[in-house]
Structure formats: C-alpha cells, structure tokens
Structure 1
Amino acid sequence: MVNEKQLGKIKASLEAHILHLQLKGHPPELYDPIDYLMGLGGKRIRPLLALLSYGLYKEDYQRILTPASAIEVFHNFTLMHDDIMDNAPLRRGMATVHEKWNANTAILSGDVMLVKAYELLLDVSPEHLRQSLELFSKTAAEVCEGQQLDMNFEGVEQVSESDYLNMIRLKTAVLIGFSLQLGALLAGASKEDVQHLYDFGVNIGLGFQLKDDLLDVYADKEKFGKQVGGDILANKKTYLLIKALELAREDDKIELENWIQAMVPDPDEKVRAVTAIYDRLKIREHTLRITTDFFEKGFNQLSSLKVQRPDGLQLLWNLTRNLANREK
C-alpha cells in the first residue's frame, strides 16, 4: 500500500510538471497542436521509468522532472509523425493532429516538439549534460531507423524473426532503455548499473511490444478497449504473422496467404480464420515463450544492481511487473 501511495505521488508530480511545461508560443497554429497532443494524457511510462531509475539512488526525484519530461515530449513527437505516416484517425480516443488540423501542421509541430525535447534536456546538470545529449541523440536516431524499417517491411513479402525483433528494439525498446539509463546517470549511479538498467529497459521494451502483438489477437475484447484483430486485418507483419508464415505448411500456408492477399474480405471472418490458423500452429504459445524470455532476461538485470534505496527498487519492480502482466 505504501508503494502504491508513493507511486501515485510520483505520477501526480510528473503529470503536473508535464502539463505546465512551457510549450506554447506564436503563431498559435504551430504550438496549439503540441498543447493538444500533450494534453491527451497517456501512461507517461517512459518519464516515469526515468524517475524510478533515479529513485534507486536518490530521493529527490523532483530535480529531474524536466529532463524526464523531455523524454515524453520526444515520444509524443514520434507519435505525431507516426500518425501521419499511418494515416491514423485517432490517438487515445481523440482526433489525431493531422486530422484535427492538417498534415503540414502536424509535421511542423512535431519538428518543434523535437527541438523542445532538446531544450528540456538542457536542464541536466553540467557534469552530465554532454553524455545525456549524446545518448539521447543516439536513441532518437535509432527510433527513426526503427520506424523506417517498419515502413520497409510493408513493401516486402517476407520478414525474418530476427529482422522483426531488431525493428521493434529500435522503434520501441531503446527509448525505454534510454529512460532508465538517463535516470540512473543523473543520480550518479555506477557505469555498470547504468548499463544494467539500459539492458533491463531494452529487454522489457521488447517484451512489451511482443505482448502488444499478442493482445491484439488474443485479448479479452471487453478489457482491450479497441478492436481485437486489427493487426490481422491490416496484414501487419507482427511476430505472430511472421512466425505463422514460417511454420505453416500445405493447406494452412495456402489459406493464410489467401487471406493476406484477399482484396475486400469480411473483417470478422478474416480475424476468425487467421486466428484459427494461429491456434493450429500454436502461435500463441510461441509468442508467450519469447515474450517471457525477454521479460525474464530484463528482470535478471535488476539482480545485478547496487542500489542505495531498496524501496525504490520495489517500486520499479512492481510497476514493470504489472505492465508485463497486463491484459489490455
């Protein structure tokens, strides 16, 4: 109960800080979309992980609220641009920026968000500033590389399991790793602990994305909060589809490829049929196995840490375990 209360306090401090960032300016057509997107909320997982990582060594997490918030601004920049590339109509249940305004505005507003993220990182203490900026720049480039690979996959027939895992590592996992890395760095953690926390973040980030792939097909519709089977309908090359194409033989392979190539299939029928193929090939079990492997590999990194605040470690453990076990 104490842990939950402390986590709630940290979350509230972070949310208040994010909502009071100086992200407005002139002309309003450029800055209003930023304010709009940041105001849509979200789990704020990445900056929260930075604060919890810092909290493994020091209590005064308030000192790094601004650089932690920089991570959230950058993350939302990527979402604003991803939504344009995906032509997505909704973000967190509300109209995306390019739908509410237009694509050109969303591109330019996203560019400003990237600049603002760097401005917020300048709040880092001088002794850690250069390294923080170097690590952030490396991570930002990797996220863009991952997004490009994801788009490249749309135009090829086959994607290997290793190529897919590398793509989600870049697109999703490295930013989670950086969040934990930054918090530890700013707290003065040892070089070894900073690396352990980065590796922890990358591994659980891979697990989170694989869990998302799994939930898109197998989640309880009432809990999931969005259409189950959306990835199947979009022929999205998730781990499940890649593994199914690898394992399918004879009739299953023909049927799966027919559904992928179908021009205007009945949505419910396609989801049912492809899910049935996944069931026959035990794709759910394959995905659960690799997802669990990444989570366990990540959590094993925590046992190597030399933390100064064991209660902080319990907070980090509880949050990430709950995320790993989520059903929506």
Structure 2
Amino acid sequence: MFQELVHAKAFQNYLEKVDFPQKPQHLYDPIRYILSLSGKRIRPLLVLMGAELFDDSAIKQALPASAAIEFFHNFSLIHDDIMDVAPLRRGKPTVHQKWNDNVAILSGDALLIKAYQELSKCPTDKISALLRLFNATSLEVCEGQQYDMDFEERAQVSEIAYIDMIRLKTSVLLGCALQMGAIVAGADERSQALLYDFGVNLGIAFQLQDDILDVYGNPQSFGKQVGGDILSNKKTILFVKLQELVSPADQEELTYLLRQTIDTEPNKVEKMMDLYAKYDIRTLAIYQKEKFTTIAYEKLIEIQVETDKKQALFSLADALMHRVR
C-alpha cells in the first residue's frame, strides 16, 4: 500500500507538469475536467509497478508511458460516454453533457494525441516496442467497444463471446500498462508476456466481479442503484449464464422481464434476482471470477524475480478482488 501511495504521488506530480494550453478554452478545459474526475488511476500506477518489478530505477523513465495510458483511457471514456448518452461520470456531468458532443469528440481526439506526445518522451530505444504494444491495444479496445454495442442488438450472447468482449474492452489495457512498464525497465520478452497475461486475466476477473456487485453489492458502498444492469437489460456474465440455463418454462418470465421498465414492472430487479437464485447464477459467476483470478496469480508467480518484489502487485490484486464496490 505504501508503494502504491508513492507511485500515485509521483504520477500526480508528473501530471501536474504536463502542459495543457489555456486556449482554445473549449478544447483544453474539457481535458483538464475529465482528468480531474479520475479515481484511483489504476492504469498509470500499473505502468510504474510493472517497471519497478524489474528495475527500481526505471520508475522515473516510465512516467511518460503512465501518462500516455491515462490519457488514452480518459479519451476512451469521453467517447464512450457520448455513445452511451451517459449523463454522469463519477457523479459529475460527462464532458458531452457539460459542453456538447462536438466539443467532447474534439477534446477526446486531442487527448489521444497528447498520449502519443507522452510516448515520444520515453527512452528512445524503447519507443518502437512501446508503440507496437500501445497501437495494438488501442485497436483492441475499439474492437471491444464495438462488440459491446453489437451485443445490445443481439438476443443471445455466448459466455465465450462475452469474456472476449470484456477482455478487449477493459482487460487488455491493464495488461498493456504493466507490459509498458516492463518494456521501459528492459525486461525479457517472456517476463513481459507473463506480466501482460497477469494484467489481462486480472482485468477479466475484475469486470466479472463488477457484474456480480451490480446485483449483489452493498447499496451503501455501491455508489449507484443496485441492479442497474438488470434495469438496462445489460448482457453481463449473470445474464449470459441465465440465458444458457433457463428452462422453456422460465423463458417466458425472462422474456417478459426484458420487455419491462421499472415503471411497467416495479419489481423487475427482484424478479430477475429470483431467476438468478433458481439457477444458482451467482455461484456460477463467482466461479468464473475466481478462475480468472487464479490464472492471473499463476502468471505473476511464474515471473522470475524475487518474491518480495511481486508483493505490491499481489496486494493491489487482492484489494481489487475483495472490494465491496
């Protein structure tokens, strides 16, 4: 935890020195705004932790890469919020809501360019490898977002397809962050691959837990309405598993619930939870979450560095996987 705080302070100090011009105001103010809404900044911290795992002295050199990851992540949030017509981000108005869609699109584009500017500040001999990884990951994130949108129009989504979607949309960026740190620190390719796989599998487990907490999380610590995914008919791991197992007799009830809103069926969440309970869906989802968590830990264990140097990553993973929201 102490190391995480040190890294967070180092990143914040670096971020405060990044130059965002005052004009045009409607281009750069939204960028400053979205960056101010950031939470724990897990992704840039993973870059620094990935570097530290192999070389304590590489943390300073990895700061530009950590900024690049943070800028890309926030660029994707700005554009995702437009596509989702989302009014709030962390309890505050989204960029497109506070300004407008056109401003949000352009500010997001500018933030992506700033990410590449930060990558250009990395050690010269590492830029080529960093760019290959960053570009491949960026495309995968876009693919994941498209699959997620496609799923909204599909009646059936398989578990394999769902896992692949969250891998692309969410998890590959965690793996990328860790591997970028490893690249800067000069780690060998096998170690890089293991650390990347640790991040990807941890990211999948994290999203699966998010799906579970949306339905079964503590309302006081949840921060938003429990059952929001049910109300919006979102295809989560819980919903996908229910679709696989639901009997013809219960399919009628499921079809009915999917057609209802909270206005037409005030007990929609409770009735869907009854179906989940009937097929023990929560247990099945927890099994999948724990499976990917175990794979992630196994990948980290395989990396050939001193065990105590991995402790910060194990501690972070444990904190992420045992949160109540």
TM category (shorter chain) comes to: over 0.9
The equivalent of 2:5 in structure 1 is 8
Spell out, residue by residue over 1:303-322, the C-alpha distance to the aligned partner (whole angstroms, 9 max, x if none). Answer: 11112x54431111101111
Are the structure 2 counterparts of residues 267 and 93 from structure 1 closer, same or farther at C-alpha, using a change threshold of 3 Å?
farther
Out of 125, 133, 136, the position equivalent to 1:135 is 133
Does the aligned pair in 1 maintain the 2:158–2:240 contact within 8 Å?
A: yes
Out of 92, 95, 102, the position equivalent to 1:94 is 92
Out of 200, 207, 210, the position equivalent to 1:209 is 207
Unaligned runs of 5+ in 1: none
1:295 and 2:301 aligned: no
Spell out, residue by residue over 1:113-152, the C-alpha distance to the aligned partner (whole angstroms, 9 max, x if none). Answer: 1111111011111111111101100000000010001001
Does the aligned pair in 2 maintain the 1:19–1:39 contact within 8 Å?
A: no
1:48 and 2:45 aligned: yes
Does the aligned pair in 2 maintain the 1:54–1:183 contact within 8 Å?
A: yes
Are the structure 2 counterparts of residues 92 and 24 from structure 1 closer, same or farther at C-alpha, using a change threshold of 3 Å?
farther
Does the aligned pair in 2 maintain the 1:50–1:180 contact within 8 Å?
A: yes
Spell out, residue by residue over 1:1-60, the C-alpha distance to the aligned partner (whole angstroms, 9 max, x if none). Answer: xxx323212111112222332233531111110010001121110110111111111113
Out of 256, 259, 280, the position equivalent to 2:257 is 259
Does the aligned pair in 1 maintain the 2:231–2:261 contact within 8 Å?
A: no
Spell out, residue by residue over 1:239-264, the C-alpha distance to the aligned partner (whole angstroms, 9 max, x if none). Answer: 11111111111332211111001256
Does the aligned pair in 2 maintain the 1:19–1:38 contact within 8 Å?
A: no
What does 1:165-314 align with in structure 2 at a 5 Å threshold? 165-262=163-260, 265-266=263-264, 268-307=266-305, 310-314=307-311
Task: Provide the TM-score with structure 2 as the length reference.
Answer: 0.96
Q: Residue type matched to 1:44 in 2?
A: R
Q: Residue type matched to 1:8 in 2?
A: L
What does 1:102-117 align with in structure 2 at a 5 Å threshold? 102-117=100-115
CA–CA distance in structure 2, aligned partners of residues 148 and 246 of structure 1: 23
The equivalent of 1:64 in structure 2 is 62
The equivalent of 1:327 in structure 2 is 324
Q: Residue type matched to 1:47 in 2?
A: P
CA–CA distance in structure 1, aligned partners of residues 310 and 294 of structure 2: 16
Spell out, residue by residue over 1:212-270, the C-alpha distance to the aligned partner (whole angstroms, 9 max, x if none). Answer: 11100010111211111000000001111111111111332211111001256456511
CA–CA distance in structure 2, aligned partners of residues 321 and 263 of structure 1: 36
Does the aligned pair in 2 maintain the 1:54–1:184 contact within 8 Å?
A: yes
Unaligned runs of 5+ in 2: none
Spell out, residue by residue over 1:60-117, the C-alpha distance to the aligned partner (whole angstroms, 9 max, x if none). Answer: 3122112111101100000000000001111011100000000111011101111111
SS of the residue corresponding to residue 12 of structure 1 reads helix
Spell out, residue by residue over 1:160-212, the C-alpha distance to the aligned partner (whole angstroms, 9 max, x if none). Answer: 11111111110001101101111111101111100000111110111011111
Structure 1 position 298, deviation (Å): 0.6
The equivalent of 1:161 in structure 2 is 159
Does the aligned pair in 2 maintain the 1:56–1:310 contact within 8 Å?
A: no
1:20 and 2:13 aligned: no
Aligned residues: 324
CA–CA distance in structure 1, aligned partners of residues 243 and 146 of structure 2: 22
Q: Residue type matched to 2:125 in 1?
A: E
CA–CA distance in structure 1, aligned partners of residues 6 and 266 of structure 2: 43
CA–CA distance in structure 2, aligned partners of residues 120 and 56 of structure 1: 22
CA–CA distance in structure 2, aligned partners of residues 106 and 283 of structure 1: 39
- Pairwise CA RMSD: 1.3
CA–CA distance in structure 2, aligned partners of residues 267 and 128 of structure 1: 56
Are the structure 2 counterparts of residues 287 and 53 from structure 1 closer, same or farther at C-alpha, using a change threshold of 3 Å?
same
Structure 1 position 284, deviation (Å): 0.3
CA–CA distance in structure 2, aligned partners of residues 7 and 17 of structure 1: 15
Moved more, 250-259 or 167-176: 250-259
